[in-house]
Amino acid sequence: MLAACIEHAAELRWAPGLKLPAVSWAGLVAVAAGELLRKAAMVQARHNFTHMIQTRKRPEHTLVTSGVYAWVRHPGYVGWTIWALLICH
C-alpha cells in the first residue's frame, strides 16, 4: 500500500498527464464497491465470519446462502481482491 501511494504521488508530481480523471474515478468507485462487498459479507455472516482459517466446523457455525452469499461464494475474498488489485493502480 505504501509503495502504491508513493508511486501515485510520484506520477502526480512528475507525470500528471498519466492520471486520467475518468479512470481515477472509475478506480475509486471499484475500490469502494470492493470494500462495501467485503463489509456486507462480514455483517451478513455475523459470527460465521472469521479471519482465522478453520480446519473443523464449529458447532455454532451455519452456512449462509442469502444476500451477498447468494451471488458470490466468498464475497469477503472477492471484495478484498477487487480492493487490493485496484488500490495499487
Q: Are 32 and 86 in contact (CB under 8 A)?
A: no
**Other beta carbons less than 10 A from residue 33's beta carbon:** 14
Q: Which amino acid is at 4?
A: A
Separation CA 62–CA 47 (nearest Å): 9
Banded model confidence at residue 70, pLDDT cuts 50, 70, 90: very high
Q: Does residue 72 or residue 89 have the better pLDDT?
A: 72
Q: What's the residue count for the chain?
A: 89
pLDDT in tens, 30-67: 888 888 888 899 899 888 888 788 899 888 888 899 98
CA distance 75 to 34: 9
Is the whole-model pTM more than 0.95? no
Tens digits of residue pLDDT in 18-32: 878 887 788 788 888
